[in-house]
Amino acid sequence: MRKEMARLIELDREQSLVGHIEAVLGWDQETYMPVKAIEERSEQIAFLEGIVHEKRVASEIGDLLSSLGSSAENPMGDSSLLPEERAYLRVLRRSYDQETKLPADLVMDLARTVSLAQAAWAEARAKSDFPAFAPYLEKMIELSKRKAACLGPGKPPYDVLLDLYEPGSTEASVGAVFASLRGELVSLLEKIRARPQVDDSFLSRPCDAARQAAISQWMMDVLSFDKGAGRLDTVEHPFTTTLGERDVRITTRYLDDAFASSLFSTIHESGHALYELGIEPPNAFRRTKLAEAASMAVHESQSRLWENMIGRSASFWTPLYPRLQELSGDALRGVSSERFVKAINKVEPSLIRTEADEVTYGLHIILRFELESDFMAGRLAVKDIPAAWNEKMSSFLGVTPPDDRRGCLQDIHWSQGYIGYFPSYALGNLYAAQFWDTMQSELSGLDTKIASGDLAPVLSWLRKHVHKDGAAWLPGEIVQRATGEALDARHYVKYLNAKYSKVYGF
């Protein structure tokens, strides 16, 4: 290995180490930290942020990248390098440019605006007062355009923002996939709404935290979560975080009258953790940016695949349901496995994205994508967002928000400057379905194996085709290599139709 490459790895590993230290502090803050500790904890995290920022923008990195032939035009560097070295340079070039291309005054302006906009958003949401938030959103859009101009001069701003969260994606690529998906989801939803609703009333039977904790621990074992390299704790809003190469922590919360909530959040977060723990780059690249996830959408594909495709399937519960009944006390007494599986797949249009099911979730996202696309291109004025939002809600989902609190003010993202982030959520579902479809064709009798309690083939397939190489491939490349074709919404549509025609009987 050339000494410049070795030095790059050394510098990168220090960033990873400090990032993981920050993650320890963040995890503790969310799980166990006493309330009065917050003041100094913020300073501790800011101190580490300062160190890691300094390390990220070090000009030495730029020099080393150049000396290895990596540039904006040729990010992978000299063709004489090994494939993994070239993949690594592409990852580093991308992150180094993102860190260094923004002028300091823009960075400060963004930080200040985020801080003000978030506060304004919280107040506006509480009062359902969009006009109070509008000027902040306008400013945020303007700054996002300036940011895009710095990061991708000459490119359409929304393309640059989308690529920031989902490397390699563009408005055209995402738009094409979403366009074919939208009609399918709307028509599937119509079919479902024409049928009698499933009964899920027993899911709100009481089940105490201790029982739910036992269910979660059991579920982690079912999914082969390595408890020597991770653990489960409770928080207000469940998440997964990586505190070290062999230290991935998941979280959940226990609501006495909604035990299925912790069950599926544990499966979801375990899916994230299995991805993190399944990344196995060549030894030389351990603990570098090559050993990180390929993207947020690929991450979401793993959590959704385990939660929805596997965790909400009849096959999965065939061998496991009796044990779940036992562990959940009286909650599932007298409820058959079939009724349980129907209940956990209930579809119901709702106003709030985070509460949406598999069918309607995509529509919430497509709505946001279309609005972002319009206001970034100047086709939609900020003041007209509420009307546009409500119109799309009505047209896609058949429900109309009674106020902006439950409409266009529901998400924090825009106030944080995350314009272009929403599509990742839906792309995760689409990737998952395409992986799932391919896996089923490649692994004969997979459904029978799952129904006999053998999940090993699923994990092996995912490790080999998705987890192992970390960030060595772009998301689009991962999909192409794993499934033999580009992303196509038809896999998701096929999956949804197959499942819901059974659940709702049409």
Question: Which positions lie near a second copy, rule CB under 8 A?
Answer: 14, 17-18, 20-21, 24-25, 28, 32-37, 39-41, 43-44, 47-48, 51, 226-231, 233, 243-247, 287
Long-range contacts of 328-331 (CB under 8 A, 24+ apart): 328/207, 328/211, 328/215, 328/259, 329/207, 329/208, 329/211, 330/205, 330/206, 331/202, 331/203, 331/205, 331/206, 331/207, 331/211, 331/259
Place of tokens 């109309």: 400
Using CA atoms of 306, 308, 312, 316 in order, give the dihedral in degrees to the nearest 10. Answer: -30
Nearer to a second copy, 33 or 134 (CB): 33
Nearest to 151 by CA among 223, 221, 100, 93: 100
Please, what is the minimum distance in Å from the beta carbon of residue 253 to a second copy? 17
Q: Which of 269, 307, 358, 372 is catalytic?
A: 269
Nearer to a second copy, 52 or 68 (CB): 52
Nearer to a second copy, 35 or 194 (CB): 35
Cβ within 8 Å of residue 50, ≥6 positions away: none
Nearest to 41 by CA among 49, 232, 110, 234: 49
Nearer to a second copy, 17 or 116 (CB): 17
Helix (H, G, I), strand (E, B) or coil at 247: strand
Nearest to 392 by CA among 377, 413, 373: 373
Nearer to a second copy, 219 or 365 (CB): 219
Contact 339, 222 (CB under 8 A): no
Nearest to 470 by CA among 242, 297, 292, 299: 292
Nearer to a second copy, 21 or 150 (CB): 21
Backbone angles phi, psi at 248, to 5 degrees: -115, 120
Distances in Å between the Cα of 72 and the Cα atoms of 69, 165, 173 are 10, 18, 22
The yes-or-no answer on residue 269 being catalytic is: yes
C-alpha span between 96 and 90 (Å, rounded): 10
Please, what is the minimum distance in Å from the beta carbon of residue 258 to a second copy? 25
Helix (H, G, I), strand (E, B) or coil at 454: coil
Nearer to a second copy, 50 or 322 (CB): 50
Backbone angles phi, psi at 89, to 5 degrees: -60, -35
- Exposure string for 219-243, b = 16+ CB within 10 A, e = fewer: bbebbebeeeebbbebeeebbbbbb
C-alpha span between 20 and 15 (Å, rounded): 9
Interior angle at CA 379, CA 376 and CA 383, nearest 5: 85
Nearer to a second copy, 31 or 395 (CB): 31
Please, what is the minimum distance in Å from the beta carbon of residue 131 to a second copy? 39
Nearer to a second copy, 227 or 464 (CB): 227
Helix (H, G, I), strand (E, B) or coil at 5: helix
Contact 387, 440 (CB under 8 A): no
Give the number of other CB atoms < 10 A from CB of residue 387.
Answer: 12
Please, what is the minimum distance in Å from the beta carbon of residue 19 to a second copy? 10
C-alpha span between 288 and 11 (Å, rounded): 9
- The residues that are catalytic are 269
